[in-house]
Amino acid sequence: MSSQGRPLKGLFDPGSVAVIGASSTEGKIGHTLLKNIVTSGYEGDIYPINIKGGEAFGIEFLTSVDDLPDGVDLAVIAIPAKFVKDSLKGCGKRGVKHAIIISSGFSEVGNVEMEEDLVSIAEDYGMRLLGPNVFGVYSSTADLNATFGPAKVRKGNIALISQSGALGIAMIGMTAEQYLGLSAIVSVGNKSDIDDMDLVDHFAHDHESEVIMIYMEGLPKGREFLEKVKDMPDDKAIVAIKAGRSEKGATAVASHTGSLAGSDRIFSAAFEQGGILRAKDLREAFDWSRLISSTVLPEREKTVIITNGGGIGVLAADAAEEYGVPLLDDQTFLKETFSDTIPPFGSTKNPIDLTGQAGREEYEKAMRAALESDEVGAVVGLYCETGVTDPMETAEVMKTLYEEYKDDKPMVFTFTGGEFVNECVEWLRKERVPAFIETDDAISSMGALFKRKRFIKRMKDGVVSERIDLDIEKIEEVINDVREAGRTTLLEDEARRIIENVGIPMAEGKVVSSLEECIDVAEDIGYPVVLKVVSEDIIHKTEAGGLVLDLENREELIDAYQAIYSNCKSKYPDAHIRGISVAEMLHGGEEVIVGGTNDPSFGPVVMFGLGGVYVEVLKDVVFRVAPVTRKEATRMMGDINAFPVLVGARGQKRKDLGALSEVIYKLSHLMYEVEDISEIDLNPVKAFDQGKGCKAVDVAITLKREAV
Amino acid sequence: MKNIIISSTEADAGKTTIGMGIALSSKKKFNYFKPFGDRPIYKKKRLIDYDAKLFKNILELDVEYEKFCIGFDHSKIKYAFDEDTIKQKIVERIDELSKGKDGVIIETGEDWRFGSSVSLDPASLYGMLDAEIIIVACGTRTNIVDDLAAVARYFDALDIPIKGAVLNKVESEEDIKNFAVKDIEDMGLKVLGIVPEIKEFDLTSVEFINDMLFGKVVAGHTGLNNIVENVFVGALSVDEMLRNPNYFKKRKLMVTGGDRSDVILASLEEGTSGVILTNDIIPPSNIISKADRAGIPLIVVPLDTYEAAKRIERMESITTIEDDYKIEKIKEKVTTRLNIDL
């Protein structure tokens, strides 16, 4: 359902709340709802309604919606589905502007029409609807707990949006237990009106919320979501848990790109691109939110780890490498700054090892030195339980320092040991200090913070993606011819025309239909040449024996021509062979793949990676939502495992990365601009040495199937 | 000089087998020529013919592979030759191949009409060379007679004599003798031999199947010469598979998805010559190790299971040089049944 686009203030800061389906019987949802609202500290007017009347918590129930005063801000409806419509109508007549429909039994069980009726009523009365099938809303702004979940919610600056009602309720309890403070919690239910994007939009502009944590299972309007997120202020962050990692998305087997583009990979890529921090599970999401909501972004990319144990320091250093937390490694500076904070047998090598006897004074001295230094961007304090120091004293120091410097530098603290040490962590968390038991969790959270920082910096470098020069008319001409022929797969010469139109360089070549023509073209291009079968029915040419490389003279050419026809006819007797492509043989260079496909959530996406015949075995590819900027195209290259090969490993020369990024950039725009295209594979693209450009060797383009 | 042109009433009648039978049974020394290649092997950017490779190795012929054929596709023949130059080429090649030999066995393509447009059919070759024509026919007693009648009529009209016919792959020799031979002789054709269907010739090696499917051998390389007698498609549960009597046939080729670890593991236990893993899926390393130890090839192909099974079924089994026992069968069952005066 599409959003009606009006603000949601009344949902999260209502002046008055009606509870339709309120109950005086303990254990009923209507009773818990009312109880939570009353005991949460809400100061607005509360109007419980039950057709049978009643009383609870000192409030007399109304018996009809019609008895409501004019202009109640929010109605929370928790009655059987069949009665919701009339109640909603009644609310509309009384001028209610927002309704939360807790009731289930609508589209989630197939009653789509019933739900559409509700939306219709809401539209008629200018009302916003949350649900149906939700657990309600908590909002710290209004001190309102209009949910049937746990009553106890800690106030804070994390807004929690959940696509799962049950998990959302569980998260209320979890956050409270872990001392995470919430500004709001809401489930989206059936999204008949208000959806994730409306909520993200609201929280992005809500002063109470600094982190938006989202649990999601699907995102149909992924691209729109990314657009919304891009407009978020820098001081907000989104932490998302996207369930369904093992889900096999619908894949098109027509191309390598299609078969590699599992939906989860695209989600990760899209989130990365949009600056959304994707946590692998709830714990990670909570950890990251804990830190991000309680600190500033690092000014510099240098972190110092201060520890009283060498072992835990090493673990932290390992984790720092894994999570992209760069450690300050200027040994001269480290020595100058920290040598008088450690005993002679300590270490200033980062992690700074204060040794096992370090107590509050030693920690304070070392940490203050780090926090005061302009060279240091972030600080990690690690404490290992010893028999000679009091962990609580160290915890108190950390709290003091945190409160003093929290607006200057991000800090995390870990306490490793037994029960007493864990109590220190609990105490620190209660005091809103970002403390952890596991070192890995602490560093991972710091990593998330750095990721966020880097993303903001990248956005400041420029997000505008220029349009490229496309002769759309010529491209559409090719596409129309293909469609008229009843195909969706372009033949090589057709695909070549489109690719060359965009300015992507291709190996010189032509499709021929006779041996004579083949010889003429080959000798025109110059040996060595490559021969490839051209047939929409033969996708994997190598396996069909339809591809022969490096033909150096006429004799070899003639034999290869015959072999291709013979192989393809015997392997694919029903295939329509339209000709043989003759192309220049490109020696040298590294083989990469550049491709495009369409994701159900995010639309056109572009792929880059190590190419050639083993692309689907090695799977060293990365994705981005199209179109990308030239800078983003360059970053894509840096993200593949084989990147060192491109920059020159083992004595090899650096490849022309500028030319490659241009291909990625242009292909991404082609995918974006030409909606008819379903998939594109340029595989391989040969990347030559710096200054010598690149060329696509093979191209495959598939069109979207037209709706019947 | 005894040049023999071997043609047939239809494709896959067994020209190569009969040609080899003739060469092995005769005291004369023969070379081999197949002007229009139709079983191409493409290796190292050159095309050679499977049958030619077989003859070269069996008869130990000292001839370069390229000499056995002059083309594999009509387009090449038309490009390289016209009516006059092709005759020149054929005559030259036969002269060359005849040196030190008593004759050349010349195998034509597919059937007696094949190559007509480029003068490489048996009638055209007869016109270029001093040779005798033998026709190989196969099938049921009725279609053998019909096919030979058409051939006889054709060659009669061209005034080209046929030395005789070899009746190959017959189901029942008795049946043919009683019901077909007289009709054939009445056409004026001599029956030079009646050769039964040799079941062993339907067999082939795992390596051959791998070559034909362009597969990737990921394990069990030592077993590539394993013989395949049966094909079993593993598209059912292991329990059901173990209830199917066909599963227990020896020398089977299992065709299954690469992700069917259960089926693959079961196959590696029992009478399997090789496993074709479909959909380009490589199984886990423990399965690869087990296949290596068992010497059972695992071959990965990009095809789906149905397509792979279909292709294997369509595959013609041709004698390959490694199949020594097949050669022995030819000597045993073919040469003893030929009565050709050379």
pTM: 0.74
CA distances from A162 to A128, A189, A428 (A): 18, 8, 27
A354 found inside a domain:
yes
Contacts of A519 in chain B (CB under 8 A): 79
pLDDT tens sequence across B147-205 = 999 999 999 999 999 999 999 999 888 888 988 999 999 999 999 999 988 776 666 78
Q: Nearest CA to CA, how far is B288 from chain A (Å)?
A: 16
Nearest beta carbon to residue B47 from set A543, A562, A616: A562
pLDDT at position A250? 40
Q: Does A561 touch chain B (CB under 8 A)?
A: yes
Q: Does A559 touch chain B (CB under 8 A)?
A: yes
* Vertex A241: Cα angle to A235 and A243 (nearest 5): 160
pLDDT at position A536? 83
Least confident residue range of A98-107, A443-452, B138-147: B138-147
A418 found inside a domain:
yes
pLDDT at position B340? 86
Tell me: do A456 and A374 sit in the same domain. yes
CA–CA dist A433, A395 (Å, integer): 10
Contacts of A520 in chain B (CB under 8 A): none
- Match 């060797």 to its residue by tokens: A697
Between residues B39 and A448, the one the model is more confident about: A448
Instruction: Report yes or no: A43 and A145 within 8 Å, Cβ to Cβ.
Output: no
The average pLDDT across A583-590 equals 93
CA–CA dist B315, B307 (Å, integer): 12
CB contact under 8 A, B311 and A617: no
A1 found inside a domain:
no
Tell me: do A360 and A429 sit in the same domain. yes
What stretches of A370-495 adopt beta strand conformation (E)?
378-384, 411-416, 435-436
Tell me: do A528 and A395 sit in the same domain. no
- Match 């390992």 to its residue by tokens: A318
Instruction: Report yes or no: A619 and A260 within 8 Å, Cβ to Cβ.
Output: yes
CA–CA dist A502, A470 (Å, integer): 6
Q: Which residues pair with A606 in a beta bridge?
A: A596, A624
Contacts of A550 in chain B (CB under 8 A): 45
pLDDT at position B320? 53
A545 found inside a domain:
yes
Instruction: Report yes or no: A42 and A142 within 8 Å, Cβ to Cβ.
Output: yes
Which of A558, A574, A619 is best to mutate for the B interface (most B CBs within 10 A)?
A558
Neighbours of A303 (CB within 10 A): 27
CATH number for the domain that contains residue A323: 3.40.50.261
Tell me: do A551 and A439 sit in the same domain. no
Burial class (CB in 10 A: 0-12, 13-18, 19+), A343: exposed
Tell me: do A414 and A550 sit in the same domain. no
Residue A555: partners with Cβ closer than 8 Å, 6 or more residues away: none
pLDDT at position A607? 94
Question: The domain containing residue A426 runs over which residues?
Answer: 292-461
Tell me: do A454 and A545 sit in the same domain. no
pLDDT tens sequence across A497-530 = 999 999 999 999 999 999 999 999 999 999 999 9
The pairing of strands B272-278 and B298-300 is parallel
Contacts of B45 in chain A (CB under 8 A): 548, 550-552, 556, 559-560
Q: Does B214 touch chain A (CB under 8 A)?
A: yes
CA distances from A650 to A645, A647, A653, B21 (A): 8, 10, 9, 58
Instruction: Report yes or no: B81 and A571 within 8 Å, Cβ to Cβ.
Output: no
- Which of the listed residues A559, A584, A609 is the one where a domain comes to its end? A584
Q: DSSP characters for B223-256?
A: GTT-EE-EEEE--S-HHHHHH-GGGG-SSEEEEE
Overall residue count recorded for chain A in this entry: 708
Instruction: Report yes or no: A328 and A375 within 8 Å, Cβ to Cβ.
Output: yes
Nearest to A303 by CA among A508, A511, A443: A443
CA–CA dist A478, A244 (Å, integer): 39
CA A292 to chain centre: 17
CA–CA dist B298, B275 (Å, integer): 5
CB contact under 8 A, B72 and A562: yes
CB contact under 8 A, A544 and B301: no
Nearest beta carbon to residue A558 from set B76, B280, B301: B76
CA–CA dist A64, A572 (Å, integer): 74
Contacts of A544 in chain B (CB under 8 A): 214
* Edge-to-edge strand list for the sheet holding B298-300: B216-219, B298-300, B272-278, B252-257, B230-233
Q: Nearest CA to CA, how far is B194 from chain A (Å)?
A: 31
Instruction: Report yes or no: B134 and B4 within 8 Å, Cβ to Cβ.
Output: yes
CB contact under 8 A, A561 and B76: yes
Least confident residue range of A256-265, A306-315, A679-688, B177-186: A256-265
pLDDT at position A2? 40
Q: Nearest CA to CA, how far is B38 from chain A (Å)?
A: 8
Contacts of A575 in chain B (CB under 8 A): none
- Match 């999260």 to its residue by tokens: A12
Q: Nearest CA to CA, how far is B75 from chain A (Å)?
A: 6
Interface of B with A in 295-334 (CB under 8 A): 301-302, 311
Share of chain A above pLDDT 70, in %: 95
Total domains in chain A come to: 2
Q: Does A567 touch chain B (CB under 8 A)?
A: yes
CA–CA dist A333, B315 (Å, integer): 74
Q: Does A556 touch chain B (CB under 8 A)?
A: yes
CB contact under 8 A, B302 and A543: yes
CB contact under 8 A, B40 and A563: yes
Task: Tell me the one-letter amino acid at B44.
Answer: K
Burial class (CB in 10 A: 0-12, 13-18, 19+), A487: middle
CA–CA dist A60, A435 (Å, integer): 46
Q: Nearest CA to CA, how far is A529 from chain B (Å)?
A: 12
Tell me: do A428 and A546 sit in the same domain. no
pLDDT along chain B (342 residues), means of 10: 92 91 89 92 84 86 91 92 93 94 94 94 95 94 93 96 94 88 93 86 79 88 88 87 83 92 90 93 92 95 88 67 67 84 80
Q: Does B285 touch chain A (CB under 8 A)?
A: no
Tell me: do A521 and A442 sit in the same domain. no
- Which of the listed residues A521, A551, A584 is the one where a domain comes to its end? A584
Interface of B with A in 57-76 (CB under 8 A): 71-73, 75-76
Which of A543, A550, A553 is best to mutate for the B interface (most B CBs within 10 A)?
A543
CA B166 to chain centre: 17
Q: Nearest CA to CA, how far is B153 from chain A (Å)?
A: 32
Instruction: Report yes or no: A292 and A378 within 8 Å, Cβ to Cβ.
Output: no
User: How confident is residue A161, by pLDDT bands cut at 50, 70 and 90?
Assistant: very high
A353 found inside a domain:
yes
A300 found inside a domain:
yes
Residue A582: partners with Cβ closer than 8 Å, 6 or more residues away: A509, A510, A511, A512, A518, A521, A522, A525, A529, A530, A531
The average pLDDT across A524-547 equals 89
Tell me: do A335 and A439 sit in the same domain. yes
Half-sphere exposure of A557 (CA within 13 A, CB side): 26
pLDDT at position A3? 42
CATH number for the domain that contains residue A551: 3.30.1490.20
Phi, psi of A607 (to 5 degrees): -125, 145
Task: Tell me the one-letter amino acid at A653.
Answer: K
Q: Which residues pair with A621 in a beta bridge?
A: A609
Instruction: Report yes or no: A38 and A59 within 8 Å, Cβ to Cβ.
Output: yes
The most confident of the ranges A100-104, A489-493, A613-617, B249-253 is A100-104
The average pLDDT across A404-410 equals 94
Does residue A699 register a pLDDT over 60? Answer: yes
Nearest to A291 by CA among A162, A156, A102, A161: A156
- Match 């109304």 to its residue by tokens: A62
A547 found inside a domain:
yes
CA–CA dist A594, A3 (Å, integer): 36
CB contact under 8 A, A566 and B79: no
ipTM entry: 0.75
CB contact under 8 A, A515 and B302: no
Residue A345: partners with Cβ closer than 8 Å, 6 or more residues away: A355
Nearest beta carbon to residue A566 from set B72, B301, B311: B72
CA–CA dist A272, A165 (Å, integer): 26
Instruction: Report yes or no: A702 and A620 within 8 Å, Cβ to Cβ.
Output: no
Nearest to A142 by CA among A264, A12, A235: A12
DSSP state for residue A126 in the 8-state scheme: T
pLDDT at position B24? 87
For B310, name the nearest residue in chain A, comparing CA atoms only: A571
CA–CA dist B179, B143 (Å, integer): 12
CB contact under 8 A, A559 and B45: yes
pLDDT tens sequence across A171-207 = 888 898 889 999 999 999 999 999 998 999 999 989 8
CA dihedral B46, B47, B48, B50 (to 10 degrees): 130
Q: Does A548 touch chain B (CB under 8 A)?
A: yes
Tell me: do A439 and A576 sit in the same domain. no
- Which of the listed residues A461, A492, A521 is the one where a domain comes to its end? A461
User: How confident is residue A302, by pLDDT bands cut at 50, 70 and 90?
Assistant: very high
Does residue A488 register a pLDDT over 70? Answer: yes
CB contact under 8 A, A560 and B73: no
Nearest beta carbon to residue A559 from set B47, B212, B302: B47
For A516, name the nearest residue in chain B, comparing CA atoms only: B79
pLDDT at position B319? 54
Does residue A248 register a pLDDT over 60? Answer: no
Tell me: do A451 and A362 sit in the same domain. yes
Q: Does A513 touch chain B (CB under 8 A)?
A: no
Tell me: do A330 and A394 sit in the same domain. yes
pLDDT at position A461? 60
CA distances from B268 to B242, B251, B283, B286, B288 (A): 13, 12, 13, 12, 10
Between residues A163 and A443, the one the model is more confident about: A443
Overall residue count recorded for chain B in this entry: 342
* Vertex B95: Cα angle to B92 and B96 (nearest 5): 85
A572 found inside a domain:
yes
Mean pLDDT of chain A: 90
pLDDT tens sequence across A374-397 = 999 999 999 999 888 889 999 999
